[in-house]
A and B are shown apart, each in its own frame.
Chain A
Amino acid sequence: MPEANKIAIQDFSFYYDSCRALWNVNLCIRSKEIFTVFGPARSGKTTLLKSLNRLTDLIFGANHTGTVHLDETDIYGPNVDLTRLRRRIGMVFDLPTPLPMSIFDNITYGPRLSLTNRKSRLHEIVEKALRSAVLWEEVKDRLNTSALRLSGGQQQRLCIARVLALEPEVLLLDEPCSGLDPISTASIEETLFELKKTYTIILVPHNIQQASRVADRAGFFLNGELVEEGPAYQVFTKPRDKRTEDYVTGRFG
């Protein structure tokens, strides 16, 4: 395996109580690529993403077997600092989730938890994060208004900016465009290309078109199993597995 692997998932299975959500997943995510995880509903995509920064810990009765390594660290190892792990692996959810506070406070929420409280530093962080998420120009004059007043697309870019403010190494994006119109979707996709230069991105795409537009590599999930993975163009145009082909060509899903 090449050294450029950012995340290595080995023999990973995940259960909610006795209900199996992921089964024996082996997958490596390379540094600074956009890897898309796609498949029908309930195929384990969200569970996979949430288990990578251990948000699944919040759910009672969740357990797993197998290992996940981020660089050299076993993220389920006994000495893992959860707070630090979640700062290294940021997540954006499928629906915009602005907190009920100002735009400024939303972006600085993460940094204030542990990094800094210095006003000047926070201002730098906010501007940089909003610029990276291509939202700065739209909101720079009203950073103190409530984030709930932004439009859906702006809210979602705010959520991306909020994660970027922590300068994570990996971004988990769970259908970040699901509630958005085509124009907002386009601007978020543009943002993704920009972000790819610095971040490793794992994306659950909104649909296959989106996946084929932005992805470097892709993995197809079905009923918690990784059916097939490979370069995006190959998976989408010449899938090796019959089930992937059926899904990609729209025969089910």
Chain B
Amino acid sequence: MNRRRYVTQGIATIFIWTGALLTIAVMLLILFQILKEGLPVLRLSFFLESPKEMGREGGIFSTLIGTATLTLVAIVVGAPLGVGTAVFLREYTRESKMSRMIRFGTDCLAGVPSIIFGLFGFVFFVIKLNLGWSILSGGLTLAAMILPTIISTAEESIKAIPYSYREVSYSLGGTKWQTVTRVVLPSALPGIFTGILLSVGRSIGETAAVILTAGSSLVMPTSLFSPIRTMSVHFYILAREGISMKMAYGTGAALILFVLMINMMAQWAINRYIRRRT
């Protein structure tokens, strides 16, 4: 009997280690492959020049701007809506038919494939609201797509704030709004921020929904109503249409480096914020 316990323990250990190592190995393999092919292409001019000849020559500047503006619109629209919904669910309403409905809705949205969001965005924003293929259409579509992530992460982190914080705030004469903005949200901020960061990653990496709503123009955008091409879409088109694998890998490497940079900066900011408060 005792031996069996140790055998189980041994097998479990091996299993868990294998899982972890495999995951890391796959990740490193992907990174290695893309960086190996892509890094040689990366030069300052690659970032600062716009694509020429469909992307065969030149750089990726306009797609960089496209990615940044599209993501910005998605977050600026999606984050307040999502956090607001989470605050509503946690602080302004009790568990009820309504709150269950909202939660069920977000859970369903979270499982919808992005191409469906793209289709919706195309039909509604591009055609119906006549926004055309544009940063605005794409950004709004992505906002809808990231909403479930932001709502559920924000709700979880708001839920984790001790009841006593709220009680203290009310007992010192705080209104609900003051309690939410001065105690609840600041305490939940690291969690909320993590959710937003995940959403930034998804927005940057999205292709299907973006092609359908923001187009794939390589021309430098001049307003929110300009069509754009994001780096991910650029990568997809370069590779898929066999325009230039070299440039595709370059774009991929740049993409990975940017995401890494954003994550590192965000982690640094979150840690600093947490340290200041505890």
A binding-site residues for B, Cβ under 8 Å:
53, 55, 58, 60, 83-84, 86-87, 90-91, 93, 95, 97, 99-101, 109-110, 113-114, 146, 148-149, 159, 162-163, 166
Contacts and interface: CB of A to CB of B under 8 A. Distances in A.
A218 to B, nearest CB: 24
Contacts of B276: 146
A113 B169 CA distance: 9
A58 B172 contact: no
A97 B173 contact: no
Contact of B171 (A91, A114, A149): A91
Nearest to A54: B170
B94 interface: yes
B164 interface: yes
Contacts of B164: 93, 95, 97
Nearest to A165: B172
B165 A99 contact: yes
B174 interface: yes
Interface string B157-193: 0000000111111111111001000110011000000
A97 B172 contact: no
B4 interface: no
A58 B167 contact: yes
B278 A60 contact: no
A109 B169 contact: yes
Contact of B187 (A60, A83, A100): A100
Given A60-B94, A99-B183, A114 B173 contact: yes
Given A87-B172, A109-B172, A146-B277, 5 more contacts: A83-B173, A100-B165, A113-B173, A113-B175, A159-B168
A226 to B, nearest CB: 24
Chain B, interface SS category: helix
Interface residues of B, number: 21
Interface of B: 94, 164-175, 178, 182-183, 186-187, 276-278
Given A58-B166, A109-B182, A100 B172 contact: no
A58 B170 contact: yes
B119 to A, nearest CB: 42
A162 B169 CA distance: 11
A97 B168 contact: yes
Contact of B173 (A60, A86, A93, A100): A86
11 contacts: A55-B171, A93-B164, A95-B164, A97-B164, A99-B183, A100-B187, A113-B175, A146-B277, A148-B278, A149-B278, A159-B168
B275 to A, nearest CB: 9
B246 to A, nearest CB: 51
A125 to B, nearest CB: 13
A55 B179 CA distance: 14
A88 to B, nearest CB: 9
Contacts of A149: 278
Contacts of B172: 86-87, 90, 109-110, 113, 162-163, 166
A114 B186 CA distance: 19
A93 B172 CA distance: 12
B170 A100 contact: no
Contacts of A162: 168, 172
A67 to B, nearest CB: 21
A169 to B, nearest CB: 13
Contacts of A90: 171-172
Given A101-B277, A148-B278, A55 B173 contact: no
Which 5 residue pairs of A and B lie closest in terms of their CB atoms, listed nearest first?
A110-B172, A87-B173, A83-B173, A97-B164, A86-B173
Contacts of B169: 99, 109
Contacts of B278: 100, 146, 148-149
B167 A84 contact: no
Contact of B170 (A55, A84, A101, A148): A55
Nearest to B95: A60
